[in-house]
Structure 1
């Protein structure tokens, strides 16, 4: 499984593998992960041929960055691409931490508080702090992280700061990462970002990015990295109580996911394989990002990425109304 292809992000020359490792899980997303488990997950990603790793200060209040940096320390720096994010400054809490950070989704002590900051100084400080935690002198990609409620500061101050950092050679590529398409489309149309990271909006269950983001990206030569390909769980394991976009899945979506799963199995593949393969059929999608918290989850993701999804699956999905006719779908290499 070392043959994962690489694609270039926009015009800037930063290469990513079509399958990327999402490091929120090793920041203790929802439940604790040991240092050893985190290191084993990164090692498994490397062994599988993954050479793109995504993290953020938000993930475990810096824990993900520290663990990822440590796990990659002995790897050749030019052999992989690493992305982190800016927009939340981590401010230490005075005295002993009280409680945990589970209200924000992470099983870590509440040693810091997050302060939204998309100012030019905030972006530079965020990156400097990230480099310290990672133990690196540069990162390849920086995304403005979830600027939903801070649009004007992000466009007026944060984005120009990233542009200057790119011009200085401190970072190779710049962009924004969000769970929505409207503002990402604005970034594509109104700025010179290399790439955007879009979570959950171009999946087997939600193709809303096809209405605005993906056509704009294609027109402007901007790359899109797709995260959330399992829609936070429903497309990984559809069952009653499964989550969709971090809440219990509505009955109608659960039914669609179950029908897609049964169809995949009839065609000798898996729903997870189809969910990973689907976004890559669009010409503007440079890669998919799959989060993992263990070596087992990484190996499974790599196996599903490599697994064939027959053309007949996509044909049947369209025929049964589970995918719109206009949505591009992958084709088998032998086709």
Structure 2
């Protein structure tokens, strides 16, 4: 079965966010992904009316990145930020972000909270910081403030900062039981960022290891910020993947066909693009043999 479409809100302008969320609410298996720093810190408040109108619409947010104001407040309070960033996994800041998210989103219980790009932390601090973060998230899960939590990473796996087994082990230690609430993983999966896709086609790598544990895998940046639409040779690759499809539709189909991927996040304010993406994912998954052939073509100089 192919993965389903979900709305990512990172690249959507404030004036279009509510309409995009309304479209997402009508999807066959809706899901909205956001973060407290998106839309200049306004994403939660802008999404709240849509969430109020759709009480069962699932929503995920994140913890880690701070708005400029929150970063200044954290620095003034002596709370540490990752060097050169507005990023922190300090327990006090995680608690604050979760409470703000519940208030701003208008939800007593958030469906998922992702630890956002933990690889920003220095390597010698990373696993200890994740343990502290997971412990806070377990507390909030036990209190009914969130259903589950996850890790959203860009290069944590490709830079060998952690493995799925590491994350599972840390969550086990933080919860004091193997029955922890770490249930989600988000990472880039595309024909550009294709490492995880190639590994999954061989039954290896983070997507396979997460899916084997029953975690929900969310593929981010399936069009790599729009780069794939202008890819050299993209027309030929699209014909290999799905004859007659546009480059974007074929690229989305490739990501959605990755074994173990459950949701494909796209960030678009345009009704046409959203509907095209829905249609692209309505087809049966592409055969692994076709995906492997396309990855070999892309790897050929």
TM tier, smaller: 0.7 to 0.9
How far is 1:123 from its partner?
A: 0.9
Is 1:88 aligned with 2:65? Answer: yes
CA contact (8 A) 1:39 1:67 kept: yes
Between Structure 1 and Structure 2, how many residues are aligned? Answer: 261
Structure 1 portions without partners, runs of 5+? 7-16, 94-113, 239-253, 325-335
Q: From 107, 112, 116, give the equivalent of 2:87.
A: 116
Query: In structure 2, do the counterparts of structure 1 residues 268 and 58 end up closer, same or farther at CA, with 3 Å as the change threshold?
Result: same
How far is 1:298 from its partner?
A: 2.2
Structure 2 portions without partners, runs of 5+? 71-84, 172-179
CA contact (8 A) 2:257 2:285 kept: no
How far apart, in 1, do the equivalents of 2:149 and 2:265 lie? 17
What's the RMSD between the two structures over aligned residues?
3.0
How far is 1:175 from its partner?
A: 0.8
Query: In structure 2, do the counterparts of structure 1 residues 176 and 220 end up closer, same or farther at CA, with 3 Å as the change threshold?
Result: same
Matches within 5 A, 1:27-176: 28=13, 33-34=14-15, 37-75=16-54, 77-78=55-56, 80-90=57-67, 92=69, 115-150=86-121, 151-176=126-151
TM-score, scaled relative to structure 2? 0.75
CA contact (8 A) 2:67 2:86 kept: yes
How far apart, in 1, do the equivalents of 2:93 and 2:64 lie? 7
Query: In structure 2, do the counterparts of structure 1 residues 61 and 154 end up closer, same or farther at CA, with 3 Å as the change threshold?
Result: farther
Greater strand fraction, Structure 1 or Structure 2: 1
Q: Paired residue for 2:190? A: 203
Q: Paired residue for 1:220? A: 213
CA contact (8 A) 1:38 1:294 kept: no
CA contact (8 A) 2:115 2:150 kept: yes
CA contact (8 A) 2:7 2:32 kept: yes
How far apart, in 2, do the equivalents of 1:221 and 1:316 lie? 24
Secondary structure of 1:144's match? Answer: strand
CA contact (8 A) 1:144 1:154 kept: no
Secondary structure of 1:205's match? Answer: coil
Query: In structure 2, do the counterparts of structure 1 residues 158 and 319 end up closer, same or farther at CA, with 3 Å as the change threshold?
Result: closer
Moved more, 189-198 or 122-131: 189-198
How far is 1:162 from its partner?
A: 0.9
Secondary structure of 2:290's match? Answer: helix
How far is 1:91 from its partner?
A: 5.7
Is 1:179 aligned with 2:158? Answer: no
Query: In structure 2, do the counterparts of structure 1 residues 119 and 43 end up closer, same or farther at CA, with 3 Å as the change threshold?
Result: same
How far is 1:121 from its partner?
A: 1.8
Matches within 5 A, 1:186-335: 186-188=166-168, 190-191=170-171, 192=180, 193-199=182-188, 202-209=189-196, 210=199, 212-235=205-228, 237-238=229-230, 254-264=231-241, 267-307=243-283, 315=290, 318=293, 321-322=296-297
Greater helix fraction, Structure 1 or Structure 2: 2
How far apart, in 2, do the equivalents of 1:316 and 1:284 lie? 14
What do the CA deviations read for 1:250-296 (whole angstroms, capped 9, x no partner)? xxxx435343135457x222332332232343442221111112333
How far apart, in 2, do the equivalents of 1:188 and 1:46 lie? 31
CA contact (8 A) 2:223 2:251 kept: yes
